[in-house]
Structure 1
Amino acid sequence: MIKFFKDVSREMQKVSWPKGNELSKYTVIVILTVLFVSIFFTVIDLGITQILELL
């Protein structure tokens, strides 16, 4: 178990973390993508619901 955490610590030092500006851009992209997908599926769901109510 101790070896595992030492290995994890060693690997985490190799990670290239995004800078503040990059992190902000990535955050905005993720939020916009989630909003787009949620709106898309809401519209699809409402459309399917309307079609089923007509039948």
Structure 2
Amino acid sequence: MQRIINFFNEVAREMKKVSWPKRKELVNYTITVLATVAFMTIFFAVVDLGISSLIRFVLE
């Protein structure tokens, strides 16, 4: 039981050392991630449509 208590005490001590991002940085990071995900989604959708069309063309 003492090992578990020591573990959580060490975790709490380390969490105090963490440099958390400011609100403005967090908003910028979030926008960057969402824009990247949207771009990749559109990119792979277009590639998928292109490959599907090519396969349909070859099989007909």
- State the TM-score, normalizing by the size of structure 1: 0.92
Look at both structures and tell me which one has the larger radius of gyration over its CA atoms. Answer: 2
CA offsets per residue over residues 14-47 of structure 1, 9 Å max, x none?
A: 1100001111101100000000111111111111
CA distance in 2, matches of 1:22, 1:41: 29
- State the TM-score, normalizing by the size of structure 2: 0.86
Q: Which residue of 1 aligns with 2:28?
A: 25
Uncovered stretches (5+) of structure 1, i.e. residues with no partner:
none
Aligned pair count reads 55
The residue identity in structure 1 corresponding to 2:12 is S
Deviates more, 1:30-39 or 1:3-12: 3-12
Q: Which residue of 2 aligns with 1:41?
A: 44
- The sequence identity of aligned pairs, in percent, is 53
Uncovered stretches (5+) of structure 2, i.e. residues with no partner:
none
Which SS does the other structure have where 1:8 is aligned?
A: helix
